[in-house]
Chains A and B, each alone.
Chain A
Amino acid sequence: MKLILSTSNIIATGSSLRRSPGTKSNSELISSLRSNFEAHYTSATNDSENGNGITKSHYRSWTRRKDNGLEVPSLEFEDSALQEERERYDITLKLFYLPGAHVGQREVQTREALKLVLEGLHMPSVDLLIVSFPGIYFDEEEDCLDKISTRGPIESEPEGLESLIETWKTLEKLHDEGLVKKLGVAEFGHDRLRDFLDGTTIKPTVDQINLRDCCSVPKDLLTLAKSKSVELLVHNDCSNILPRGTTRELLGPGEGGAGILGEEAESSSKVGEKRKSLHGEEVRNGASESGSKDAMRGEVQPQWVVKYTAVVRDRGVVESKGYFAVAEVME
């Protein structure tokens, strides 16, 4: 079963604000997913609170089965359109291929992600699509403590150049079809970028790197980027933006969970991931009542996340920002 998770437009919800300097940079995605789920499962009942907090309504009342997937929450794109016409905006997508997902599925995944965003914003195309491959981290010249703390759990080794280029061919097609004007990569260091540029037809015009507050970029990367007209942009995202444990917790029966997944199967503990909640506390296993009836069982495997932002070009105002994510539940 495929789960399509979405945040709706989060720009004016406060989710995208840095709460404190140490905040993990995927907290925007996690907290906005969580609050969007919460808004749905609480509003569906709209009961006054009883002593034990909010009653969660059954997930079937606020999600929707479609084809072979489940929309969490149900997708409604009627009111989510951008207000002005296409050329007034700079629309950027960042697609995170997650560790453990099928590499062979990337073409399908990429098209699905793009389609969701285009439908959501009611736009025919986007300006920039940046892809983030699992396990690839740009290494700064100097160690940067801030940065290391924002990587998220490392669940994979970087894949080889050939695999990257294979995926890129999909993106080149989207470019040829006019759906995407420019393509970009994330976290490529000098050598990887150089080899990648050599191996691709439509070159990336952007390499997005995470600097946090450490403003040091290797000279060789700067020189290469300049000579090949690759713009080095700054980002503040985790590469492993949606780890398995976090996903399970978001969807699970626990206190802040959506009640879509049942109790964790024995087998999933093999993953060996430390089960820490978002706030760093141990999750109290079984503390809450077991989830909804007919909750799903099985291991959950996040596949990809797409982040989109639409900025009004000549005013610098962010009008829309949000995420879609897809996870597979293997029963």
Chain B
Amino acid sequence: MGLLAEGTPLDWPEAKKVAGHVREWGIEQLLAIWRRAKGKERDKLLWGDEIEYLVVAFDDEKREVKLSLRQADILKALANDEKLLKQGGGVPELATGHVKSGKTAPTFHPEFGRFMLEATPGAPWGIDFKDLLDVEQDMKWRRQIANDHMYASEYPITMTTFPLLGDRKSITPWYPPSGASLRSQFVPDEIANPHIRFPTLAANIRARRGRKVELNVPVFHDEKTSTPWKDPTVDYDMHNWPEDDDVRNGAAKDDCIYMDAMAFGMGSCCLQITFQAMNIQEGRKMYDQLSPLGPILLALTAATPIYKGFLADTDVRWNQISQAVDDRTPEELGEKPLKNDRWRIPKSRYASNSTYISQDPRLRPEYFDPDLIVDEKLKARLMEGGMDDLLATHFAHLFIRDPIVVFAEDLEKLDLDSTDHFENLQSTNWQHMRFKPPPPGNDIGWRVEVRPMEIQITDFENAAFSVFLVLITRALLSFDLNFYLPIARTTENMETAHRRDAVLNEKFYFRKDPLPKRQPKLNGASNPPSGASTPQLQPSRPASPFGPVEDEYELMSVDEIINGKADGSFPGLIPLVESYLDSVNVDVETRCELAQYLALIRGRANGTLWTAAKWIRHYVREHKDYKKNSVVSGGMNYDLVKAVERITKQEGRDGRTTALTTPMASHKTLDMIFVLLSSIKADVQLPTERVDRIEKYVSPGMGHAAGRQVADTPELLGMILLQLPMRDLLLAQRVSKGFKAVMDGSASVQRALFFMPESQPADNAAYHLPRVNTLLNDYSNYRHIPLMAYARLPIFYDFTQRNDFTQRETPRAIALHSFLPVAGPTDGTFAVLLRAKEMPAGFREEVAAMRPDRYATGSWRRMYLTLPPCDIFFHDNGSHRSDSIHDCTKLATGVVLGELFEWMHENTSECAVEAEWKVNDCERGKEPGAVVHFWRLCKPDH
């Protein structure tokens, strides 16, 4: 959000009367920018991210969480922080003549919602790869600073929307709804930033529209949700404002959650990235090429499954914001014949974009939006001023809108050195891509803003998506990739991205072949690089006849788009990024950190990691208070937001695989465990680090007695412990003698630890799928779950050791490698397969250097590999992957980890054996189990 100008805003319809005037002046200002900056060249890649927060206030006594409307106070505290100012941070909007000292503390900005904050890095990022690793740290720093300027009960969370916004209760301080500007029956005027711009924006959108904005989000029909479902919170008897008639005129639709104010949309948080291009041509290219990625990014970052206390049937915020700022009149919407308005407009001001602007020979006329509305008069003026057709069309399209907030003072004189009128329209066209001309008076270049992504719960995720996008832009510029797709398909994709779990279940139109079509130029000549200093020089390419546009794209899953198609026909965005990284010099630590970010995106796309939307929905549906009727109660919301806060702080380091893959129930339980541990701290023999964390975590005096009580109740303790992930469960044995006794005495704990076989369910024994020891899965997590990357080789690790990249002390002979499942036997059996295989170089030395005695004890040795216990087969038909266990020798049944470990170490020789452990479930037509690889040295006669 830009700087907030002061002035006397015009009410509607006064503003309407001067709209043409503002547009014309805006166009003149644009032409001035164009003349000044069209030749601007050689700008660096600079980029920036914007993080938006919701400020929530917890009341742990009452188990309540509310939106805090203290934005102004918090910003004031930030603006007056001397230390922050010295480092260049603060709040530019509130700065009083203070000059930045060149240091780069983050800066904070007001946002539409009075419960929101926006934070940006103090200085833009570059493309030094080490810079990319600073992004996450900076995001964490921002959150920390914001938090430091709040009350102890407040916290800046990054959820797109507050689940109970509009419940008429969950704001503090509390104000009654139905104010003069919003006229909402759900939220008060005080929900919006009090700066005059915001209430005017809301009021004028409502006035222009002729009624309140109307947000109808399909409700998620759970088992006990009625059909048709009518939003029970709608008040049909309110008579404060003329707009209160809206609901009596059918504004609230059946089976939809109904909302009626701009705050429901503009109160959403998103993650936006802005890139500076080297020149206008490169900017136009990035704008076009990133546009088709928008819906994919939206689906990947989906995080919005709840509105106004109800589970929605959609996963993302986009359409709700679109509806929340939709100022179109009934005529423009096509509900009434055109009489006063100039045209029907197919999209809201907030929508997927509708233009391509790059002067690229690959841009075919068929790609353009057939429904594009353009102000031809303004376009003619732009072209008369020297602008080319494509760009003139783009801006003349944006300028079909009316300015919403007009300050009387600005209409006195046209200032061509200013951009206020241009920005007035430019910045109230909220399309998913934004092409931004250089601002006057400084050296900033042409920029492209990418706007579709939803904010993510953790800074790790926000950094991952930011960095991914940066790398994608570098790959597409280096490889000259082509993602062009007809705009109408991108518009459809945007709708598709709304569906529940679209990231896994839906298919999106995407270009089949993004690779450049050009032949390598003959005679050893290189192709002129795209966007080099002589950009007019377009690569000459053979005049290959264009086929039908429809043949250029097809429906693909997000997994295919991100990770590539199995048959290699589509490379995948992640492999493209990796190919780019292969072509530049990157140091090992950076590359490995970047690999974690890419692993997050990869995992989101292939389903191994959940979107926040899926996790939140799952959390609600698994909550003990949930009545299967789509209702999210205050208590559930408290637990949810509390959980979100914890995930933000812990990022899965609290022993969970990752927050977003683990059901919330166990997070809550983990709390209880921590409370428990703290209450009996005298007994605790845990690593210091863990104890420290517990101390930080548990508020003083909290839960001491309760913890003791639980610990004294073995059944209760056993049940709680069962919620723990495997590693913590193993570790829990070492908490105290009391813990150990409880665990030893509990059959279910023993089974959970894979210490004893569980009884087979008699009914569907044939289909009973063995469970894989999750300790082994933990290892496989290292590839799929970036947060676990540092916690590798769990079995043979010293649990007390914290391992990180530079301090890794690994027993090396055993390495477990997870692979994608290979085809297995067809009879539903499963087994451990051992095969003779070429020994990896250095393997023997590694074994020689090992100290097996170090692993002589440890309860993990008693763990089965699977439950029910599996067979081990040996297989030696060379290095070819076998798809069958039928030609193998059975070695043993019911092997435990200790035996396996011994077996792998008993001999040293010239060959190695690869053990491949697979769990098959072919009867169901899929293979859900992990496949784990071991290496071991074997006897020569093998």
Q: State how many angstroms separate the Cβ of A126 from the closest Cβ of chain B.
A: 12
Residue of B with least CB distance to A84: B533
Interface flags for A224-262 (1: CB within 8 Å of B; 0: not) read 000000011111100000000000000000000000000
Q: State how many angstroms separate the Cβ of B806 from the closest Cβ of chain A.
A: 6
Q: State how many angstroms separate the Cβ of B479 from the closest Cβ of chain A.
A: 6
Task: Confirm or deny: A80 has a beta carbon within 8 angstroms of a beta carbon on chain B.
Answer: yes
Does the CB pair A318–B580 fall under 8 Å?
yes
Task: Confirm or deny: A76 has a beta carbon within 8 angstroms of a beta carbon on chain B.
Answer: yes
Does the CB pair B525–A219 fall under 8 Å?
no
Does the CB pair B479–A19 fall under 8 Å?
no
Task: Confirm or deny: B584 has a beta carbon within 8 angstroms of a beta carbon on chain A.
Answer: yes
Residues of chain B contacted by A141 (CB below 8 angstroms):
808, 810, 812, 846
Could you tell me which residues of chain A, from 60 to 88, have a CB within 8 Å of some CB in chain B?
A: 73-81, 83-84
Residues of chain A contacted by B817 (CB below 8 angstroms):
145
Other-chain contact of A315, B278, B515, B516, B806 (Cβ < 8 Å) = B278
Does the CB pair A314–B127 fall under 8 Å?
yes
Residues of chain A contacted by B815 (CB below 8 angstroms):
142-143
Q: Count the A-B residue pairs with Cβ separation under 8 angstroms: how many?
A: 194
A140–B845 Cα distance when bound, in Å, is: 12
Other-chain contact of A317, B474, B522, B812 (Cβ < 8 Å) = B474
Task: Confirm or deny: A161 has a beta carbon within 8 angstroms of a beta carbon on chain B.
Answer: no
Residues of chain B contacted by A330 (CB below 8 angstroms):
none
Does the CB pair A219–B808 fall under 8 Å?
yes
Other-chain contact of B527, A9, A39, A40 (Cβ < 8 Å) = A9
Other-chain contact of A19, B526, B571, B587, B591 (Cβ < 8 Å) = B571
Residues of chain A contacted by B414 (CB below 8 angstroms):
none
A14–B516 Cα distance when bound, in Å, is: 7
A314–B43 Cα distance when bound, in Å, is: 9
Residues of chain A contacted by B530 (CB below 8 angstroms):
12
Interface of A is mostly: loop
Task: Confirm or deny: A6 has a beta carbon within 8 angstroms of a beta carbon on chain B.
Answer: yes
A259–B716 Cα distance when bound, in Å, is: 79
Does the CB pair B585–A215 fall under 8 Å?
no
Does the CB pair A20–B588 fall under 8 Å?
no
Q: State how many angstroms separate the Cβ of A49 from the closest Cβ of chain B.
A: 15
Interface of B is mostly: loop
Q: State how many angstroms separate the Cβ of A180 from the closest Cβ of chain B.
A: 15
Other-chain contact of A79, B526, B531, B789 (Cβ < 8 Å) = B526
Residue of B with least CB distance to A231: B587
Does the CB pair A11–B474 fall under 8 Å?
no
A6–B522 Cα distance when bound, in Å, is: 11
Segment among A96-104, A291-299, A319-327 that sits at the interface with chain B: A319-327
Q: Using known A-B contacts A12-B479, A83-B529, A215-B805, determine if residue A143 contacts B843 with beta carbons closer than 8 Å.
A: yes
Residues of chain B contacted by A16 (CB below 8 angstroms):
479, 579, 582-583
Does the CB pair B44–A10 fall under 8 Å?
no
Residues of chain A contacted by B528 (CB below 8 angstroms):
79, 83
Residues of chain B contacted by A8 (CB below 8 angstroms):
520-521, 524-526
Residues of chain A contacted by B520 (CB below 8 angstroms):
7-10, 13, 32, 35-36, 39
Task: Confirm or deny: A280 has a beta carbon within 8 angstroms of a beta carbon on chain B.
Answer: no
A252–B583 Cα distance when bound, in Å, is: 29
Task: Confirm or deny: A209 has a beta carbon within 8 angstroms of a beta carbon on chain B.
Answer: yes
Does the CB pair A80–B526 fall under 8 Å?
yes
Residues of chain B contacted by A36 (CB below 8 angstroms):
520
A211–B581 Cα distance when bound, in Å, is: 13
Interface flags for A159-177 (1: CB within 8 Å of B; 0: not) read 0000000000000000000
Instruction: Determine the interface band of chain B, counting residues with CB < 8 A from chain A.
Output: 35 or more
Task: Confirm or deny: B213 has a beta carbon within 8 angstroms of a beta carbon on chain A.
Answer: no
Interface flags for A207-220 (1: CB within 8 Å of B; 0: not) read 00101010111010
Could you tell me which residues of chain B, from 678 to 724, have a CB within 8 Å of some CB in chain A?
A: none
Task: Confirm or deny: A283 has a beta carbon within 8 angstroms of a beta carbon on chain B.
Answer: no
Residues of chain B contacted by A219 (CB below 8 angstroms):
806-809
Q: Using known A-B contacts A11-B478, A18-B582, A145-B933, determine if residue A233 contacts B522 with beta carbons closer than 8 Å.
A: no
Residues of chain B contacted by A236 (CB below 8 angstroms):
582
Residues of chain A contacted by B524 (CB below 8 angstroms):
6, 8, 73-77, 80, 120
Residue of A with least CB distance to B593: A215
Residues of chain A contacted by B840 (CB below 8 angstroms):
143-145, 148
Task: Confirm or deny: A265 has a beta carbon within 8 angstroms of a beta carbon on chain B.
Answer: no
A266–B193 Cα distance when bound, in Å, is: 85
Task: Count A-side interface residues using an 8 Å CB cutoff.
Answer: 71
Other-chain contact of A143, B525, B526, B935 (Cβ < 8 Å) = B935
A215–B596 Cα distance when bound, in Å, is: 10
Q: State how many angstroms separate the Cβ of A56 from the closest Cβ of chain B.
A: 15
A212–B158 Cα distance when bound, in Å, is: 34
Task: Confirm or deny: A301 has a beta carbon within 8 angstroms of a beta carbon on chain B.
Answer: no
Task: Confirm or deny: A222 has a beta carbon within 8 angstroms of a beta carbon on chain B.
Answer: yes
Task: Confirm or deny: B480 has a beta carbon within 8 angstroms of a beta carbon on chain A.
Answer: yes
Could you tell me which residues of chain B, from 105 to 128, have a CB within 8 Å of some CB in chain A?
A: 126-127
Q: State how many angstroms separate the Cβ of A226 from the closest Cβ of chain B.
A: 9
A235–B582 Cα distance when bound, in Å, is: 6
Does the CB pair A213–B587 fall under 8 Å?
no
Residues of chain B contacted by A76 (CB below 8 angstroms):
523-525
Residues of chain A contacted by B579 (CB below 8 angstroms):
16-18
Q: State how many angstroms separate the Cβ of B781 from the closest Cβ of chain A.
A: 14
Does the CB pair A12–B575 fall under 8 Å?
no
Residue of B with least CB distance to A81: B526
Residue of A with least CB distance to B591: A234
Does the CB pair A319–B532 fall under 8 Å?
yes
Does the CB pair B841–A137 fall under 8 Å?
yes
Q: State how many angstroms separate the Cβ of A311 from the closest Cβ of chain B.
A: 5
A137–B278 Cα distance when bound, in Å, is: 40
Residues of chain B contacted by A145 (CB below 8 angstroms):
817, 840, 933
Q: State how many angstroms separate the Cβ of B529 from the closest Cβ of chain A.
A: 4
Task: Confirm or deny: B564 has a beta carbon within 8 angstroms of a beta carbon on chain A.
Answer: yes
Task: Confirm or deny: B477 has a beta carbon within 8 angstroms of a beta carbon on chain A.
Answer: yes
Q: State how many angstroms separate the Cβ of A230 from the closest Cβ of chain B.
A: 10
Residues of chain B contacted by A51 (CB below 8 angstroms):
none
Subset of 14 A-B contacts with CB under 8 Å: A8-B521, A9-B527, A12-B518, A14-B479, A36-B520, A83-B534, A140-B842, A141-B808, A215-B588, A233-B585, A234-B588, A315-B44, A318-B478, A321-B583
Given A11-B529, A90-B585, A317-B474, 9 other A-B residues pairs in contact with their CB atoms under 8 A: A18-B582, A39-B519, A73-B522, A74-B523, A213-B595, A216-B808, A233-B585, A316-B584, A318-B584
Using a CB–CB cutoff of 8 Å, the interface residues on chain A facing chain B are 6-14, 16-21, 32, 35-36, 39-40, 43, 73-81, 83-84, 90, 92, 120, 128, 137, 139-145, 148, 206, 209, 211, 213, 215-217, 219, 222, 231-236, 309, 311, 314-322
